[in-house]
Amino acid sequence: MQELKEAIARDGVCIGQDIVKVDMFLNHRIDTGLMFRMGEELAKRFADAKPDLILTVEASGIALALTTARAMGDVPVLFAKKAATVVQSPDVAQASVYSFTHKRENIIRVDKKFLPKGSRVLIVDDFLADGQACQGMMALCAQTGCEVIGIGIGIEKGFMPGGKNIRAMGVNIQSLAVVTGIEDGKILLADD
């Protein structure tokens, strides 16, 4: 997606050899117009998939999941939670996810009643790097008997193994921009 690639090139900040910081428009400050156009583009790419719901994980996946859901005709969004609450349902599906950014293990949880057996689920997240979050969400779907009909991603780090590993399972991943590497402090982007 050209507009997203331009935003990454203009506002993305490299930290070391493997971190791309895009908090100017994606996961701290949100460029509202761009976020909606990203959702419209993901909706186009999964137009034939007819998901019953979109699954994401808090917090930074929520915005793209919601704009995609809007563009797909207001399908519901379910966001997996990372912290147990005092009002948690006793009937949850959960999976363990290591966060590359926060350097810690998180448990992600959904109330099973919101992932009814047999649902067609589109997973959406802002980033795909080592694939931990997506594989965690796939595990939630497996536990509840739901079918993952695809994965929509804002920015994929093509130099990390997540995308390759999950595509090898036969899952259709659509990434709106792919960062292929960082060279001399410059973010390299794949052609569309």
Residue 37 or 45 with smaller CB distance to its own copies: 37
CA atoms within 13 A on the CB side of 27: 17
Give the nearest distance from C-beta 48 to its own copies in angstroms: 20
Whole-angstrom CA distances from 18 to 156, 180, 184 are 12, 10, 12
* CB contact at 8 A, 134 and 140: no
CA 100, CA 48: separation in Å to the nearest integer? Answer: 33
- Our CB check for its own copies shows the closer of 82 and 171 to be 82
CB of 16 to its own copies, least distance (A): 9
CB-nearer residue toward its own copies: 16 or 170:
16
Measure the CA–CA gap between 133 and 42, rounded to whole angstroms: 18
Nearer to its own copies, 139 or 171 (CB): 139
Q: Shortest Cβ distance from residue 169 to its own copies (Å)?
A: 26
Contact 131, 157 (CB under 8 A): no
Q: Which is nearer to its own copies, 78 or 149 (CB)?
A: 78
Closest approach, Cβ 54 to its own copies, in A, equals: 9
3-state secondary structure of 71: helix
Facing residues of 156 across strands?
128, 178
Taking the C-alpha atoms of residue 62 and residue 141, their distance in angstroms, rounded to an integer, is 18
CB of 43 to its own copies, least distance (A): 12
Interface residue list for its own copies (CB under 8 A): 15, 19, 21, 23-24, 28-33, 35-36, 53, 58-60, 62-63, 66-67, 69-70, 74-79, 81, 83-87, 101-103, 110-111, 114
- The helix or strand, by DSSP H or E, that contains position 31, with its residue range, turns out to be none
Asked if 83 and 70 count as a contact pair (C-beta separation under 8 A), the reply is no
Q: How far is the CB of 164 from its own copies (least distance, A)?
A: 24
Instruction: Rank residues 31 and 166 by Cβ distance to its own copies and give the closer one.
Output: 31
